[in-house]
Structure 1
């Protein structure tokens, strides 16, 4: 079925491509959310990923197992491109003289505050990693790809995936230990520690790999 779907997608079959979206859009979205820390931006990443996948359908290998590594490889490139665009945009904004503005309190009304705090804490921790290490960690730990699939997604050898993932885990564990030794203050009104919750989330997902 997968091989037939590959052939149909390569031939430009819209129905086969719709099946691809139905099968994997949620996984692409989860990867994008965890990479960007922004639910709205992740929706744009999903759209861009599938637009790019349609454009590149002729380059899809005719053989292989799951199509998810191919899609997540495209997502990774989209994330890189949007990150570069965002940096250029921020640099342009920084050159604009500041103006008086009225505070917007709408964000205080969100219903998933703890999820946002947890995601933000994860983003801060992941931001300390090299880009390659961060991408491997997100693909293997959060998106559930095995070493071979992550290697296919990123276009690197399996050994590179293994070494990057090991380096990322070592760095994140050291960071979590530093936070524990610092004696962190609880999040307001939650009675919990953000990094502790994120560390538990990583550990839980790793146990289920």
Structure 2
């Protein structure tokens, strides 16, 4: 093997004959998925869910759509399903954030001081509002806000129609704005930093 495969589809295809090639996907995406899972479930579950995401991906790689441009939505989709299994833990954690106002992951993500101050002030209310969303709405909102997914990537990851992504995102944003009683632009900025 001379270097990493040129595309995710090539890496997955090549891994069918040379399983070690699948490690290139891990190298490309594991850190991002780990951060996303940490933000959703906390640091205690992140290692396990990230590992399980890649284990499931490796075991099901024959079913990967080779015409896909990137394996990123596929991997996040697997992670989202695993996160869904731990929904009760996630809701308990979000309620704890709402009570304490402390999100240990947000500290490492803050890049702008003023955004950080706004986010800290809204963190308790935001966590409580997130805990009150349905699992489907929360998945869509957090993939857009925390994983920086496009609507199409969310649809691919969750295996739902694009229209469903739009309606869930609209509903989730409306519920968050109502819960926070905040300026809509401020709410979205706080979500991205938090």
The match for 1:17 is 22
Instruction: Confirm whether residue 7 of structure 1 aligns to residue 8 of structure 2.
Output: no
The match for 1:202 is 191
Counterparts of 1:113 and 1:162, CA distance in 2: 27
Cα distance, 1:82 vs structure 2: 3.2
TM (normalized to structure 2)? 0.72
**CA deviation string 1:61-112 (max 9, x = no partner):** 121111110001100111122336x69xx9xxxxxxxxxxxxxxxxxxxxx5
Counterparts of 1:120 and 1:43, CA distance in 2: 25
Query: Which structure 2 segments of 5+ residues have no match?
Result: 1-5, 93-103, 109-118
Instruction: Confirm whether residue 132 of structure 1 aligns to residue 136 of structure 2.
Output: yes
Cα distance, 1:121 vs structure 2: 5.6
Q: Which of 34, 40, 50 is equivalent to 1:35?
A: 40
Q: Which of 139, 147, 160 is equivalent to 1:156?
A: 160
Cα–Cα, structure 1 residues 164 and 15, in superposed 2: closer, same or farther, change >3 Å?
Answer: same
**CA deviation string 1:15-64 (max 9, x = no partner):** 3211101100111112212211x112111110111111111111111211
Q: 1:44 is paired with a residue of what secondary structure?
A: helix
Cα–Cα, structure 1 residues 23 and 162, in superposed 2: closer, same or farther, change >3 Å?
Answer: same
Counterparts of 1:121 and 1:39, CA distance in 2: 21
Cα–Cα, structure 1 residues 59 and 113, in superposed 2: closer, same or farther, change >3 Å?
Answer: closer
**CA deviation string 1:123-165 (max 9, x = no partner):** 4221111111100011111101111111011010011101111
Cα–Cα, structure 1 residues 5 and 115, in superposed 2: closer, same or farther, change >3 Å?
Answer: same
Query: Which structure 1 segments of 5+ residues have no match?
Result: 91-111, 181-196
Counterparts of 1:151 and 1:177, CA distance in 2: 29
TM (normalized to structure 1)? 0.67
Q: 2:149 is paired with a residue of what secondary structure?
A: coil
Counterparts of 1:63 and 1:124, CA distance in 2: 40
